[in-house]
A = this chain, B = another copy of it.
Amino acid sequence: MKKLMNAPEQYTDDMLRGIYAAHPDCVKDTAGDLRCYCSAKKKPGKVAIITGGGTGHLPLFLGYVGRGMLDGCGVGGVFQSPSAEQIFNVTKEVEAGAGVLYLYGNYTGDIMNFDMAAEMCELEDIPTRSIVGADDVLSSQSVENRRGVAGIFFLYKCAGAAADQMKSLDEVLAVAQKAKDRTRTVGFALSPCIIPEVGKPNFELQNGEMAMGMGIHGEPGIWTGPLKTANELAKESLEALLGDLPVPQGGQVALLVNGLGATSQEELYILSGAVSALLGEKGIGIHRTFVGEYATSMEMAGASVSLLHLDEELKALLDAPAHTPFYTQI
């Protein structure tokens, strides 16, 4: 294991100290707990959106806390859920009188702890709603059982813009639900990553091998085999995406080509170019293309492709400005 760190058990908190030191105008901790991560700015009367999840996926999850996106994040250890108490402490700090949307990924531990936090909120008369990202098409046939991966960025962006426009809690939830219903992701891994406290790779791939559909924690995919070309992967990914979420000719999408960590930006653009060309052949318009690291697994190599099937409402929300320490859109 070669990582820039001091000790495995300090990994998450040392990272958080670095983030707070780098961006003191944007973010702060609360309740004396580094892992209770909050926007430094509060907009009275705005619905607060709170996410949470394990460390190791930057810019997920905390990286989207900022103007026009999220208000707070419960930060777990590497690949671990934040506690219900941490989520509740973040909630108390950032809620601004209009209720709270919990928006996070579809993982058992996170669901349990967010649900417990929601119960704690109920006792204090803070209204909450919850929705989980579950965009990973190849993780399950059933939508309810799918993992949440990079496509949650679209949910953050659209729901965050709606909240920033002072929509009500149920309106913000409806936007998140619509973005969820119209977002799909396909991902594939080329190499594993190493959890600092474990010290060895979380799965194995041979030379020249890849795993289609593998999850961001190394969850099994649908096939493991020889590495395909970017054009082949673009074709296979789009078939899975559009097979699950048909987009008519003349329809418009947002495209997100996300790197899992070690894959270079050069390669991500080679892949996004291939996906763009195929969408063009199908007569599907791309309103906006996002390429880069949006949801990673530390130093895992690989990528994911997400589509959001746009309508006029989602297009306007996606285009609204946003500013966080990890993501700025003008």
Q: Which residues of A contact B (CB under 8 A)?
A: 2-7, 11, 14-19, 21-23, 55-56, 58-59, 190-191, 207-208, 210, 227, 229-231, 233, 261-274, 276-277, 286, 289, 291, 293, 296, 298-299, 301, 303, 323, 326, 328-330
- By the criterion CB–CB under 8 Å, are B14 and A230 in contact? yes
Give the residue name and chain of the B residue nearest to A58 (CB).
B265
Question: Does A264 lie within 8 Å of B210, measured CB to CB?
Answer: no
A21 and B296 contact, CB distance less than 8 A: no
A265 to B293, alpha carbons, bound, how many Å? 10
Q: How far is the CA of A226 from the CA of B97 in the complex (A)?
A: 53
Contact of B4 with A208 in the complex, beta carbons under 8 Å: no
Residues A5 and B289 in contact, CB atoms below 8 Å apart: no
Are A301 and B301 in touch, CB under 8 angstroms? Answer: no
Query: In the complex, what's the smallest C-beta–C-beta distance from A168 to chain B, in angstroms?
Result: 28
The verdict on A15 contacting B270 (CB below 8 Å), with A22-B291, A263-B4 known, is: yes
- Find chain B residues with CB under 8 A from A296 CB: 264-265
A231 to B55 alpha-carbon distance, docked (Å):
20
Q: List 26 A-B contacts (CB under 8 A).
A: A2-B190, A4-B230, A4-B270, A5-B229, A5-B230, A6-B230, A15-B270, A16-B269, A18-B268, A19-B269, A19-B273, A21-B272, A21-B289, A22-B273, A56-B264, A58-B266, A58-B269, A59-B265, A261-B262, A263-B299, A266-B298, A293-B293, A299-B301, A323-B330, A328-B328, A330-B330
CA of A261 to CA of B268 in the docked complex: distance in angstroms? 12
Contacts of A271 in B (CB 8 A): 4, 18
